C-alpha cells in the first residue's frame, strides 16, 4: 500500500465511449503525475500537476484530458480512444515538483483495454 | 535527451545473487532511482543514488558511477518474492521539475 489509490483497476471501453480514471493520494503531496505503461516499452510521462496547476504536458493527444480539482485528486478523462491506447495507466505523487529530486509514489494502475 | 538501457530479462536461483545493470546518457545527471514492480501492481521505490558509491538497504544494494553513466542494483539471498520487474529511472538536471525518464525495466525470474 503506497498511499496512492486508483479506480477502476480494470476498464474495457469501445472507441466511441467516454470514461474517466480516478487517482487519489493520501500522502499530503503537492505534485501528481499520469504515466502510460505499454507492454515492452518504458514508462511514459503524460501529465504533471503541481499545486493543481498543469506543469507538464508531454505531447499527449487531446483524446486524453486531465483534471486536478485539488491536490489530492487527479482524473484522466478519456474519449474516442484508439486500440493502441490500451495500456496500464499509472498515477503517481511526490512531495513537490521542483529542482530537488523527489521520490515518486505510484498507484496500482488502471489496466485499460480499448476495443 | 536521455537514453537508459537495462537488460530485458534475467533468471536466477533462490538464495543466489543477481546484479541488474543500468547505463544512461544524460546532459545533466541529477539522481537515479530504482523501483520494483510486481506484475499488475504499483512500482515501489527501492533506492536513490545521486553521489558515487554503494547504498545498502538490507538484501538490496545500489551502486552509482556518474563518470561512467552506470548503476547497478544488487539483490542478495534471492527469494521467490523477488520475482518482479526492476525499473531504473534518471532525473536530468535540465529537465523540468521532478521529471524522471525510465528504462524499459528488467524482469527477474527467481527459480527454486
What confidence tens digit (pLDDT) does each residue in B43-88 have?
999 999 999 999 999 999 999 999 999 999 999 999 999 999 999 9
pLDDT recorded at residue B2: 64
B13: closest CA of chain A, how far (Å): 24
CB-based contacts of A62: which residues, under 8 Å, 6+ apart? none
- Cβ atoms within 10 Å, residue A98: 14
Query: What's the average model confidence in pLDDT over B92-99?
Result: 76
- Write down the mean pLDDT value for chain B: 93
| Chain A residues with CB within 8 Å of chain B CB | 2, 4, 31, 40-43, 45, 48, 50, 55-56, 90, 94, 96-109, 111
Contact between B100 and B81 (Cβ < 8 Å): no
Flag whether pLDDT at A28 surpasses 60: yes
Contact between A3 and A27 (Cβ < 8 Å): yes
Beta bridge partners of B37: B85
Nearest CB to B102 within list A43, A99, A100: A43
Q: Name every chain B residue with its beta carbon within 8 A of the beta carbon of A107.
A: 42
Q: How confident is the model at residue B99 (pLDDT cuts 50, 70, 90)?
A: confident
Give the best residue of B43, B50, B88, B94 to mutate against chain A (max A CB count within 10 A): B43
Contact between A77 and A67 (Cβ < 8 Å): yes
B64: closest CA of chain A, how far (Å): 16
pLDDT recorded at residue B24: 95
d(CA B53, CA B20): 16
d(CA A46, CA A66): 9
Q: How confident is the model at residue A55 (pLDDT cuts 50, 70, 90)?
A: confident
Flag whether pLDDT at A56 surpasses 90: no
Q: How confident is the model at residue B21 (pLDDT cuts 50, 70, 90)?
A: very high
Percent of chain B with pLDDT over 90: 79
A43: closest CA of chain B, how far (Å): 6
Nearest CB to A41 within list B96, B101, B104: B104
Amino acid at each position: 500500500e503506497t498511499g496512492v489509490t486508483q479506480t477502476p483497476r480494470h476498464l474495457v471501453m469501445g472507441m466511441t465511449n467516454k470514461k474517466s480514471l480516478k487517482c487519489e493520494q493520501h500522502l499530503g503531496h503537492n505534485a501528481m503525475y499520469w504515466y502510460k505503461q505499454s507492454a515492452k516499452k518504458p514508462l511514459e510521462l503524460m501529465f504533471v500537476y503541481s499545486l493543481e496547476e498543469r506543469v507538464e504536458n508531454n505531447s499527449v493527444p487531446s483524446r486524453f484530458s486531465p483534471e486536478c480539482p485539488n491536490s489530492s485528486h487527479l482524473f484522466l478523462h478519456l474519449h474516442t480512444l484508439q486500440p493502441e491506447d490500451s495500456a496500464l495507466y499509472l498515477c503517481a505523487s511526490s512531495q513537490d515538483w521542483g529542482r530537488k529530486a523527489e521520490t515518486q509514489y505510484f498507484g496500482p494502475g488502471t489496466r485499460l483495454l480499448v476495443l | 535527451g536521455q537514453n537508459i538501457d537495462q537488460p530485458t530479462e534475467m533468471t536466477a536461483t533462490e538464495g543466489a545473487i543477481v546484479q541488474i545493470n543500468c547505463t544512461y546518457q544524460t546532459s545533466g545527471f541529477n539522481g537515479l532511482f530504482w523501483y520494483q514492480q510486481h506484475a499488475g501492481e504499483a512500482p515501489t521505490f527501492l533506492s536513490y543514488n545521486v553521489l558515487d558509491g554503494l547504498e545498502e538497504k538490507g538484501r538490496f544494494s545500489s551502486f552509482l558511477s556518474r563518470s561512467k553513466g552506470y548503476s547497478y542494483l544488487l539483490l542478495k539471498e534471492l527469494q521467490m518474492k523477488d520475482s518482479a520487474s526492476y525499473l531504473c529511472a534518471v532525473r536530468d538536471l535540465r529537465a523540468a521539475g521532478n521529471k524522471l525518464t525510465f528504462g524499459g525495466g528488467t524482469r527477474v525470474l527467481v527459480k527454486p
